[in-house]
Structure 1
Amino acid sequence: MANLSLFQSLRKPTFARLYFAQTISLFGDALTWLGLALLAFELAGKDSAVVLSVALTLRVTAFVILSPIAGAIADRLDRKLILVITHIARMLIVGTLPFVNAVWQIYVLVFALNVFNAFFTPTYQATIPLVTSKAEYASAIALSAATYQLLGVLGPGIAGSVSTWIGARQIFFLDAISFLIAAVLIFTLPNQLRVKQSEPLEESRVVSKIIGDVKEGTIRLFANAFIRYALFLQLVASIAGAQILVNTVGYIKGTLQLSSLEYGWVMAAFGIGATVAAVTVVAIGKKWEHTAIVPFGAILITSAILPANYVGLVSLMLLWAIAGMGQVFVNLPTQTLIADQIPSNFQGRVYGAHFAWSHLWWAVSYPIAGCLGSQGNMSFLYGSLIGFTVLTGVQILLSPKTHEHQHEYLSHDHEHIHDEHHQHDHHEGVLLTEPHTHIHEHLQIRHRHAHYTDIHHLHSH
């Protein structure tokens, strides 16, 4: 029933159009990156790993730098206009990719493309409250986040299957059409999507507020032992995942001397594994703690790439399906941990900080993958060894020593009178012999391994 509740927000036509526009846009992103992998191999051959690693690093760099700024701009302009412009711009950029004939052109177009991507994502997230009610908002956010995570892993597999039918360069035309469809869906949304500013902020205050929110989100992100542990395990998964995204095309088309068709099959296997994990992760989460699922996923994806340099097509497809499962087992429970561990009024800042830090991991991992891919045919083996080294360090230094639990502070007033069992100080003027009220603050601790709730009373006056 919890899974079904995610889709209740789609009953509102305005949000449904916005959501389907996002889904089509994410599918377009998947087409872009698979097409770029094939294009990089066509132009650079054995050096395609370097080309891809640079391109993907430019992508996450644009996200980390520009997303906070985009969020501030989204508070001042019509968000519908921003969303339409970002889609049209991306349509035009990917429409030129089939005509690329030099590596430097890939770098320029990729950076330009992801400047607009960086503006789309936070603007979309900020638009959801404008097109949903308070009752629908939570499920709408959850559905959008789940779709983003799922298509991030499934997308390359779906795109790989599509590329086998229409060709490597032609895939960019389909990509452009997807962005156009998404732009039309957003354009048909009613009225403007603009937030009224109670008091316009000076630019210096805007920058200061952005920095303050990112700082506070980061502090809370790293202060929680469980989330900090999961975040660094995402680094492990990023190291292994970057090897897959950067070096698979070179291994399939270079080492194994196979075609784009087989490359599509392998990436589709990665997506199938991710799908299986996404379907089962909720059921597994009822039996295992999140801090057990996340390291299991990190071990799964890191182990999957260990023997990959020594196998053929069928075995590689099986390994990549396992790797896809591992990637989801790391990413989705980490998102849930934030929701479980962070008070709702701080979750926006923590999710924003998590977005920046998790993309920073990829900015570190892509160059590693490119460097290993350019040095020979052992990139997967060495990448796995690096991943296991980081995993060991994280497990020794950051693994929480206690079970997961959630702290939540609740406050209320109630009347009471002092007796021999109930004594505490009061402000001047309060008669201790008369019934009176004051605020009680409760620290509620929810233990995942228990079937009861402990309440400890903390008094504040």
Structure 2
Amino acid sequence: MTAMPRLLECLKNPQFARLYLAQTINLVGDAFTWLGLALLAFEVGGGKAAAILSGALTLRVMAFAILSPVAGAIADRCDRKQMMILTHILRAIAVCLFPFVTQIWHIYALVLALNVVGAFFTPTYTATIPFVTGKDDYPNAIALSSTTYQLLGVLGPGLAGSVAAFVGTRSVFFIDGLTFLSAAFLLLTLPGKLAVIQPQDERRTIGKMFKDLGLGTNCLFSDPPIRYALFVQLVAAISGAQILVNTVSYVRGTLNLGKVEYGWVMAAFGIGATIASVGLGNLDRSYRKTKFVGIGIILLTLALLPANVANLGGLLVLWAIAGIGQTLVNLPTQTLIADRVAVEIQGRVYGAHFAWSHLWWAFSYPLAGWMGSHFPAQSFFYSSLISAVLLILVRFAFNPTRGRMANNGLWHEHEHIHDEHHAHHRSTNGTIPTHRHLHFHPELTS
């Protein structure tokens, strides 16, 4: 009997299998949403379609950057299953309103609502993966989720386009709504709650809520390997935004090729990312994450260097390499957080990471647009040089092997008791107060 591939072994866990299937259906829904939105923007805005989509992307990343830390804090304090079900139902309602759009501002309002809700789903889902899979399976589970995301990024638009051609632009949103409701039903079938056990003696105050929001960012910036990977993601966002924003102008304008060839080039980027996800998923979980992050950003930076002089065949190869590099940066970063952060605070850390990584893109998209407008013949080349300089600075400023906390260990919330040696902190009613703070426990070695 043929053994199950390492990447798929995590599906033996029935809880994760249902969670993963719900996420896969959710990703199909996302493909329908964004393809339908592009067609609707052209239908409503005509020549303003590009500006409408640019505004929608900006609203998307800003909603994620602002609200993801809030989502992470809530995910650590409530039933994540209920939270994910609610977000799917609200997204279904939002997309089913798109067929009634008649004005441009209607599109912006619905996109904002859709992504406000999406900002609460994605970090919650990511933090739930290690919670339901356990220590041994979560690297493969994260890799499988990433592989599916990349694969549906390639196949999803084609499927959505075929459906839209058959049922019409506006009707496709009703099918989109059904995908979100189906995912919500799957999540509803998960047994029990998906809630992290937290200390019962803590009252939720405004001050503690803001402390929760800051804890995730504090952990990201205090841990040398995670901090290094986060800033490498800034470099990767600058290069990745160039690919997403300026490839269409290069293929259609400089190379004078058609929509089909543009689709091939972007598919090559997605296929490269998929190959890297599968490869990482089949590696032993002990591989050094920061090493792969470094390899990934070097591949991504080098892929852009000759792109402005490449023909179609060369661009297909370069963008496949770039896709591999992008995944080698992003996927080990997610696994690093699961490796080095205790489960009871992972929601807050993943929420903060989701916010910061999307903030990098909020900066990178306008930069890519400016470079594409002012340096259309050298945009990829200049972006590669900027990325190389930034990478050198990041490597020297945020060396992932520097300091005691670069060793293996675990971040968690540590209870601190103000005993008799801290009498100045004693409360007025005579009780000894306590508080909780972020603490790193290095792994003991023999």
1:138–1:84: structure 2 CA closer, same or farther, 3 Å change rule? same
Offset of 1:242 from its aligned partner?
1.7
In structure 1, what is the equivalent of residue 390 of structure 2? 390
Structure number with greater Rg is: 1
- What is the correspondence of 1:205-220 to structure 2 with a 5 Å cutoff? 205=205, 207-220=206-219
- What is the correspondence of 1:176-187 to structure 2 with a 5 Å cutoff? 176-187=177-188
Q: TM-score, normalised by structure 2?
A: 0.73
Offset of 1:148 from its aligned partner?
4.3
SS at match of 1:368: helix
SS at match of 1:233: helix
Tell me how far apart the structure 1 counterparts of residues 224 and 144 of structure 2 sit (CA, whole Å).
Answer: 27
Higher relative contact order, structure no. (Cα contacts within 8 Å, ≥ 6 residues apart): 2
**Mapped pair 1:66 → 2:63:** no
**Mapped pair 1:155 → 2:152:** yes
**Mapped pair 1:263 → 2:267:** no
Contact 1:154 1:270 in 2 (8 A): no
1:395–1:102: structure 2 CA closer, same or farther, 3 Å change rule? farther
In structure 2, what is the equivalent of residue 416 of structure 1? none
Offset of 1:260 from its aligned partner?
4.0
Tell me how far apart the structure 2 counterparts of residues 347 and 75 of structure 1 sit (CA, whole Å).
Answer: 7
Tell me how far apart the structure 1 counterparts of residues 245 and 96 of structure 2 sit (CA, whole Å).
Answer: 23
Q: Deviations over 1:38-76 (max 9, x none)?
A: 66678576983x544432232122123223434555678
Offset of 1:157 from its aligned partner?
1.5
Offset of 1:24 from its aligned partner?
1.2
Tell me how far apart the structure 2 counterparts of residues 314 and 395 of structure 1 sit (CA, whole Å).
Answer: 33
In structure 2, what is the equivalent of residue 88 of structure 1? 89
In structure 2, what is the equivalent of residue 355 of structure 1? 354
Q: TM-score, normalised by structure 1?
A: 0.71
Offset of 1:391 from its aligned partner?
1.8
In structure 2, what is the equivalent of residue 423 of structure 1? none
1:146 to 143, 149, 154: 143
Tell me how far apart the structure 1 counterparts of residues 224 and 192 of structure 2 sit (CA, whole Å).
Answer: 44
SS at match of 2:376: coil
1:391–1:287: structure 2 CA closer, same or farther, 3 Å change rule? same
One-letter amino acid of the counterpart of residue 385, structure 1: L
Tell me how far apart the structure 2 counterparts of residues 107 and 28 of structure 1 sit (CA, whole Å).
Answer: 19
Identity of aligned residues (%): 51
Offset of 1:299 from its aligned partner?
1.9
| More displaced 10-residue stretch of structure 1: 232-241 or 192-201 | 192-201
- What is the correspondence of 1:168-317 to structure 2 with a 5 Å cutoff? 170=169, 175-189=176-190, 205=205, 207-253=206-252, 255-256=254-255, 258-281=257-280, 289-317=288-316
One-letter amino acid of the counterpart of residue 383, structure 2: G
Contact 1:161 1:264 in 2 (8 A): no
SS at match of 1:262: helix
SS at match of 1:399: coil
Offset of 1:114 from its aligned partner?
0.5
Gaps of 5+ in 1: 410-441, 446-453, 456-461
One-letter amino acid of the counterpart of residue 264, structure 1: G
1:285–1:101: structure 2 CA closer, same or farther, 3 Å change rule? farther
Tell me how far apart the structure 2 counterparts of residues 44 and 307 of structure 1 sit (CA, whole Å).
Answer: 35
Offset of 1:201 from its aligned partner?
7.2
Tell me how far apart the structure 2 counterparts of residues 213 and 293 of structure 1 sit (CA, whole Å).
Answer: 31
Root-mean-square deviation over aligned CA pairs:
4.2
Offset of 1:158 from its aligned partner?
1.9
Contact 1:407 1:443 in 2 (8 A): yes
1:407–1:388: structure 2 CA closer, same or farther, 3 Å change rule? closer
In structure 2, what is the equivalent of residue 23 of structure 1? 24
Contact 1:156 1:267 in 2 (8 A): no
Q: Deviations over 1:269-295 (max 9, x none)?
A: 111101211222356778974333212
SS at match of 2:358: helix
Q: Deviations over 1:369-420 (max 9, x none)?
A: 23334446344334333322322321333234669963449xxxxxxxxxxx
Gaps of 5+ in 2: 411-440
Contact 1:17 1:186 in 2 (8 A): yes
In structure 2, what is the equivalent of residue 323 of structure 1? 322
SS at match of 2:407: strand
Tell me how far apart the structure 2 counterparts of residues 380 and 16 of structure 1 sit (CA, whole Å).
Answer: 40
Contact 1:150 1:275 in 2 (8 A): yes
Tell me how far apart the structure 1 counterparts of residues 188 and 194 of structure 2 sit (CA, whole Å).
Answer: 11
Tell me how far apart the structure 2 counterparts of residues 244 and 317 of structure 1 sit (CA, whole Å).
Answer: 12
Contact 2:69 2:216 in 1 (8 A): no
Contact 1:6 1:140 in 2 (8 A): no
Contact 1:217 1:351 in 2 (8 A): yes
Contact 1:240 1:383 in 2 (8 A): yes
Tell me how far apart the structure 1 counterparts of residues 361 and 74 of structure 2 sit (CA, whole Å).
Answer: 26
Contact 1:53 1:370 in 2 (8 A): no
In structure 2, what is the equivalent of residue 338 of structure 1? 337
Offset of 1:2 from its aligned partner?
11
In structure 1, what is the equivalent of residue 380 of structure 2? 380
Contact 1:269 1:320 in 2 (8 A): yes
1:269–1:360: structure 2 CA closer, same or farther, 3 Å change rule? same
